[in-house]
């Protein structure tokens, strides 16, 4: 099967977690702008968006496939077989406990199935926690190296400085467009350069993209990508055979490509337990408790996903699974 290479620009700025994964795994931070072709990067400007815009950055949650774990000498991620195959992960222990406690809300059969899977869920959660500890150990040296570069002024960073009355805002909160109106107070918080004297390694929250020290607190921290590459250079590239046909780049069919990266596409990979989601939708439909409008249902089910799964699918993903119930009502 032929493979086409599609050029994709690298982001001019990157979050702390993206910088960390560059140093540790040489995973490039990719640029994402407006779907309508705007020139702004969602990392730098959360507010200059059109109706179809999404806040997207290099998604790292789905990077640790079996192949990538083996490549970097990490223990195999317990989630790897689900990431690789697209299969549904075991039910979470949190959801199982919720089902077992709510006898009125869940049927006897559902509770029996949950009880049957409880031991599997406990073992799975423990395995993931153990693996995360191994990953944290692996990343420790890379974190120290980036901190040193920031502290010495070799890499510059900027962020939104929080005053005494401001609440912590993590980059994960910008992923959900429903939060944007609630975060409007941040629209007027201008980004400013972070002085090198500010940095304390124990004050850096890599996942949230924030940092604190006795002199203040910064959120939505961005690093200069060119400076990052200068301090932590690209490795020597691997030579592969590429052909150009009318401006289109193709890999030679006989070339053996050792894939070095797993980038997220727009939106989220389909790793959510949609079977469980549909069961919940059917239950609500039979009870007559579905909202009158599809838009209201998306908001309601997004909250359900957050409570049950600890994370929220994109609106587009939710609409794809919810629309069938409302289309059916229209047909009838």
Residue 296 has pLDDT above 80, yes or no: yes
pLDDT at residue 55, rounded to an integer = 42
pLDDT, position 35: 47
**CA dist 42 → 9, 37, 47, 86 (Å):** 14, 12, 8, 28
The band of 41, judged by pLDDT with boundaries at 50, 70 and 90, is: low
| Confidence band, pLDDT 50/70/90 cuts, at residue 204 | very high
Q: What is the dihedral of CA 40, 45, 48, 49, to 10 degrees?
A: 80
* pLDDT value, residue 39: 52
- 172 or 114, higher pLDDT: 114
Can you tell me the mean pLDDT for 22-36?
76
Residue 227 clears pLDDT 80, i.e. is over it: yes
Looking from the CA of 320 toward its CB, the CA atoms found within 13 Å total 8
- Convert the chain into a string of H (helix), E (strand) and C (coil): CCEEECCCCECCEEEHHHHHHHHHHCCCCECCCCCCCCCCCCCCCCCCCCCCCCCCCCCCCCCCCHHHHHHCCCCCCCCHHHHHHCCCCCCCHHHHHHHHHCCCCCCHHHHHHHHHCHHHHHHHHHHHHHHHHHHHHHHHHHHHHHHHHHHCCCCCEEEEECCCCCCCCCHHHHHCHHHCCCCHHHHHCCEEECCHHHCCHHHEECCCCEEEECCEEEEEEEEEHHHHHHHCCCCCCCCCCEEEECCEEEECCCCCCCCCCCCCCCCCCCCCCHHHHHHHHHHHHHHCCCCCCHHHHHHHHHHHHHHHHCCCCCHHHHHHHHHHHHHHHHHC
Output the pLDDT for position 210.
87
Averaged pLDDT score across all residues of the chain: 77
Mean pLDDT: which of 32-46, 85-99, 121-135, 179-193 is highest?
A: 121-135
């Amino acid at each position: 099967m032929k493979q086409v290479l599609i050029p994709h620009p690298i982001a001019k700025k990157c979050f702390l977690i993206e910088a960390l994964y560059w140093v540790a795994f040489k995973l490039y931070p990719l640029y994402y702008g407006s779907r309508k072709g705007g020139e702004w990067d969602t990392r730098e400007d959360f507010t200059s968006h059109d109706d179809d815009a999404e806040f997207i950055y290099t998604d790292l949650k789905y990077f640790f496939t079996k192949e990538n774990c083996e490549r970097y000498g990490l223990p195999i991620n317990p989630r790897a077989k689900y990431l690789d195959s697209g299969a549904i992960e075991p039910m979470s222990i949190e959801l199982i406990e919720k089902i077992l406690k709510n006898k009125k809300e869940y049927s006897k059969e559902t509770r029996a199935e949950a009880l049957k899977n409880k031991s599997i869920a406990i073992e799975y959660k423990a395995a993931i926690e153990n693996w995360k500890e191994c990953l944290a150990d692996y990343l420790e040296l890379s974190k120290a190296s980036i901190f040193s570069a920031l502290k010495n002024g070799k890499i510059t960073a900027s962020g939104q400085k929080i005053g005494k009355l401001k609440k912590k805002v993590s980059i994960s909160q910008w992923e959900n467009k429903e939060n944007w109106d609630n975060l409007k107070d941040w629209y007027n918080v201008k980004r400013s350069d972070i002085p090198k004297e500010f940095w304390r390694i124990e004050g850096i929250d890599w996942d949230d993209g924030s940092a604190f020290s006795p002199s203040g607190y910064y959120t939505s921290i961005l690093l200069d990508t060119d400076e990052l590459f200068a301090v932590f250079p690209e490795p020597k590239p691997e030579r592969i055979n590429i052909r150009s046909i009318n401006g289109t780049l193709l890999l030679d069919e006989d070339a053996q490509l050792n894939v070095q990266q797993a980038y997220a596409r727009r939106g989220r990979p389909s790793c959510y337990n949609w079977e469980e989601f549909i069961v919940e939708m059917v239950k609500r439909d039979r009870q007559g408790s579905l909202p009158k409008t599809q838009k209201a249902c998306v908001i309601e089910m997004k909250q359900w996903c957050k409570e049950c799964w600890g994370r929220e699918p994109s609106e587009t993903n939710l609409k794809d699974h919810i629309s069938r119930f409302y289309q059916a009502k229209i047909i009838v």
